[in-house]
A and B are shown apart, each in its own frame.
Chain A
Amino acid sequence: MSSKVFITGIGIISAIGNNVEETLSSLQKGESGIGKLDNFSSRHRDHLAVGEIKESDDLLKTRCGVSQTSRYSRTSLLGMIAAKEAMLNAGIIDISQFRTGIVSATSVGGMGVAENHFLEYLDPDDDNKFLDYINTLDCSDSTEQIAAHLGITDYLSTISTACSSSANAIMFGARLIKHGIVDRVIAGGTDSLSRFTINGFMSLKILDEQPCKPFDASRNGLNLGEGAGYVVLESEAAAKGKNILCELSGYGNANDAYHQTSSSPQGKGALAAMQKAFVVSGLSPDKIDYINAHGTGTEINDLSEGLALRQLFGDKIPHFSSTKAYTGHTLAAAGGIEAVFSILALQHKLVFPNLNFNTPITELEMIPAQSLIKGVQINHVLSNSFGFGGNTSSLLFSKITA
C-alpha cells in the first residue's frame, strides 16, 4: 500500500493543441481555441462558439495508428491519443511490469456517431451498417478501447458524473493505488462535441454565442469544447527512480444537494469539496499558489464558485484563472484536461491567464490572472471541477520536495 500517489505522465488533446507541447505553447501565447463549428452540421452552427479540434476522425485515426476502416468513436480516438501520450510521457514501456489500471470518464461517449444513425437503429429493415456504433453509447466503450490500445487489463472502470467526471476518475484512481488494488492507473476523461450536447446546453440557455468570459461581470454562458486529458498515477514503489512530475496530494468530492443543474447560491458543495482536498493533503489554504477554477462562464457557476473561494481563502485569494476560454467546457474531459494544465503550471512556474476578463463580478470583487505570469514559485495547485447533479470535485497537485 502506498501512502502517496505520484503523477509521472500527462497527455492531452483539445482545441488548443494535439499534445502537451502544443498545448503549453498555446497557453503561454494566450491563444484560444474557441471558434466556429466545422466538423459536423447543426442548425445552430452560425450561432455557436465552440472549442473544436480541427481534425477529422480519419486524421485522428492516422494519429492513433489505427486503420481507416476501424470503428472508433471520436471520443475513443481522442482518449486513445491523450492516454497514449501520458503513458509514453511516464516512460512506461512494459505495461505488465506493475499492476496497471485505467479509470476513464465520459459523458456522452460515442454520441457523435450514434446520433446520426438513431433512426436507422429503430428501423427493423435497416441494413445495420452502423449498428455496431450503438455500443459506443455505452460509456465503457471508450474506456475499453483505450485500454486495448495501451494493453491495460488489470483493472478497468468508467466514471460518469457529468462535468466533474474526470476529476473523479483521477481521485478514484489515486484511491485504488492507496488501497493496493493496483500500482498504477491511467486516469482522466474524454468527450467529443455532439449535436446532443449542443442542443442540450442550448435548451438550458447557458451557451454564449461569443467566446466565454469566465468570472467577468458581463459573462453570458459557456462554450462547449471537446478533448481528452489523462495523467499517469503511480504508487511510491512503482514511481521509484522515475521522473516524478508532482504528487496528487489531495482530493475531495461532495454534493451540493441543491438542484439538478444549478449550483447552490453560496457554493456549499464547492466549498466542501475543496475542504476535503485540504484535509486529505494536510495542507492549509494559504499554501496554494494557483487555482485552476471550474469557471465555466455561466452566471450561476462563477458566482457560486467565487463565493466558495471567498469563504475558504478570505481576502487572500491566490492567483486564479479559468482556462475554459481556451478550450471551451469539455464536459467529462474537463477535469483531466485541467489536471494537465495544473501540472504544467507547477512544472513551468506559470499562471495561465483567464482570457476575456474585463470587469470583476460585483459580489466577488475577484480579479483572475489576466496575462501570463512567469517565473513564480508554484508549489501547490488546486483544480476545481463541478458537474450537474450537484457534483463537486477538487484536486490538489503538489511539487515534490526532494
Chain B
Amino acid sequence: MKAFIRGTGVISPQHTFLESNFPETLIETNTNLFRCIEPSYSEYLNPIMARRMSRVIKMGIASALRCMKDANLEMPDAIVAGTALGCLGDTEKFLKAIIADDEQFLTPTSFVQSIQNSVSAQIALHLSCTGHNFTFAHKGFSFESAVLDALMLIDEKEVETVLVGGIDEMTDHNYFFYKKLGRWKTEQINSNSLYTSTTKGSIGGEGASFFVLSKKQTPGDYAELKGVKTIYNPANPGQIQNKLAELFAENNIKSSDIDLVLYGLNGDVRTDHWFTSVMENYLKNIPDGVFKHLCGEYQTASAFAVGLAARILKSGVVPDSILYGKLKPETVRNILIYNSYGNNHSLFLLSGLTGQE
C-alpha cells in the first residue's frame, strides 16, 4: 500500500504554512511550550464564520485548504483526520459553563464544536465533500490510523485522492493538566537544548498538518509514502526492530538503503532510550535527524515529521538544524520516521521521486 504525496499544508510553531522562512529562520521557545504561528484566516474562511469557530477548527481548515491548493486539487475523494484530543478548547468551555451555571442557560455552540470529528466535518462542509469521512482519536496512533485508512482507501477501488491530516491543539488548561501529570520539564529550557537535557519531561507543542495522498503520480509530487506501522506498548526495542524488518521487507529495501532517520526524541530521559537504543542497535551509521525541538511534543507530532520529510525529499535539502548526529546524508532517497507518544510507537517510510528537479 503506497501513495504519492501531492500536496502539504502545515501549521506549526515554525514558518511552515507558507514556507516563507522555513527552515531558514527557526523559532525557538524558552517557555517549555510551543504554540503555532497562525496564518491570517481571511484568505481561507469567511470572517463571520471564522469568529464562531474554535482555534483548532480554524487551524485544521486552513491547513487543509492550503494543502488542497498546494496539490492543485479541487475535491478529494475522502477526508481522514487524526486528532487525539479533538476540539478540547470547546469541551473545556462547555464543561465550565455546565459547572458555572449549574446546568442552566447553556447554548449549544461549544457543545457542537466539542465533538471530536468537527475538524474533518467542517472541512467536508467547506469543500462540499460527500466522500468517506473518518476521524481517529487514539493518542500517538491518531495520525497513524488516519494514514493507514487513507492508504487502504487508495488501495481499494474508487478512491484516487485522500485529504489526510493530524491536528492537535495545546490549550492552556491542557498544558496545565499535563504539567500536573509530569509530562513537561519542571525547569525551563531553550527548545534548542532539548536533546542535551537529562531530566524528566518534554516541552509542549501543537500543530495541524494536512496532506493530499494520491493513487497516481503527478509532476511536482513531494514523495511516495510507502508505509506506516504501529507498535503498541512494546516490551523491548527488539519489537521495534521486528516492525522495521516488516516495513523494509514489504518495500524490498534494507536498512542500509535508508538515507535519513527522523527520530521522535523529546528530551524526556524516561523514554528517549527507546530511540537511542534503536539508533545504536538497528540503524547504526545512518544519518539521523530530530524534529521535536521545532514542534514540541503532542500526540500528532508525527504529522509534522511527515511534512518535514516530504519537504526534504522534494527539495533534496536536509537542513542542518534537524541533524542529530555527526553524519549528514549526501543524497536523500529514503526517509524513515520513528516516533512515539507514551507507549504508542510508530514508523513511517517515505521515498523521493525520480525525475524530480
Contacts and interface: CB of A to CB of B under 8 A. Distances in A.
A158 interface: yes
A160 interface: yes
Contacts of B20: none
B138 A158 contact: yes
A255 B85 CA distance: 22
Interface stretch (B98-106, B205-213, B313-321): B98-106
B304 interface: no
B96 A118 contact: yes
B138 A140 contact: yes
Interface in A363-398: 387-391
B122 interface: yes
B181 A254 contact: no
B108 interface: yes
Interface stretch (B109-117, B194-202, B266-274, B332-340): B109-117
A258 B133 CA distance: 13
A115 B98 contact: yes
B263 interface: no
B250 to A, nearest CB: 11
Given A143-B138, A181-B148, A199-B106, A160 B99 contact: no
A204 B180 contact: no
A53 interface: no
B58 to A, nearest CB: 14
A197 to B, nearest CB: 9
A74 interface: no
A95 interface: no
A389 B117 contact: yes
Interface in A336-379: none
A138 B141 contact: no
A255 B129 contact: yes
Given A143-B138, A196-B98, A199-B111, A131 B180 contact: yes
Given A122-B173, A204-B111, A255-B129, A172 B134 contact: yes
A91 interface: no
A176 B1 CA distance: 12
B121 A391 contact: yes
A9 B348 CA distance: 33
A330 B61 CA distance: 29
B226 to A, nearest CB: 15
B130 A269 contact: yes
B230 interface: yes
B175 to A, nearest CB: 12
Nearest to A198: B103
B173 A199 contact: no
A157 B80 CA distance: 14
A159 B111 contact: no
A179 interface: yes
A390 B148 contact: no
A162 B92 CA distance: 18
Nearest to A44: B103
A140 B139 contact: yes
Contacts of A195: 98, 103
A8 to B, nearest CB: 22
B84 interface: yes
A203 B135 contact: no
Contact of B115 (A115, A137, A257, A389): A389
B120 interface: yes
A128 B85 CA distance: 21
A59 interface: no
Given A203-B111, A204-B108, A391-B117, A179 B152 contact: yes
A46 B139 CA distance: 37
A390 B103 contact: no
A139 interface: yes
B94 interface: yes
Interface in A101-124: 107, 115, 118-119, 121-122, 124
B102 A160 contact: no
A244 interface: no
Contacts of A272: 130
Contacts of B63: none
A147 B344 CA distance: 13
B176 interface: yes
A156 B177 CA distance: 25
A388 B145 contact: no
A195 B103 CA distance: 8
Contacts of A254: 130-133
Contact of A388 (B84, B92, B117, B128): B117
* Interface pairs A-B: 9 shortest CB-CB: A389-B121, A200-B111, A160-B116, A158-B138, A139-B137, A140-B138, A203-B108, A160-B137, A255-B133
17 contacts: A42-B103, A118-B96, A121-B176, A134-B180, A139-B116, A139-B137, A155-B232, A157-B141, A157-B145, A158-B136, A161-B117, A203-B111, A253-B134, A260-B122, A387-B117, A388-B121, A390-B125
Interface of B: 1, 79, 84-86, 91-92, 94-96, 98-99, 102-104, 106-108, 111-118, 120-122, 124-125, 127-139, 141, 145, 148-149, 152, 155-156, 173, 176-177, 180-181, 230, 232-233
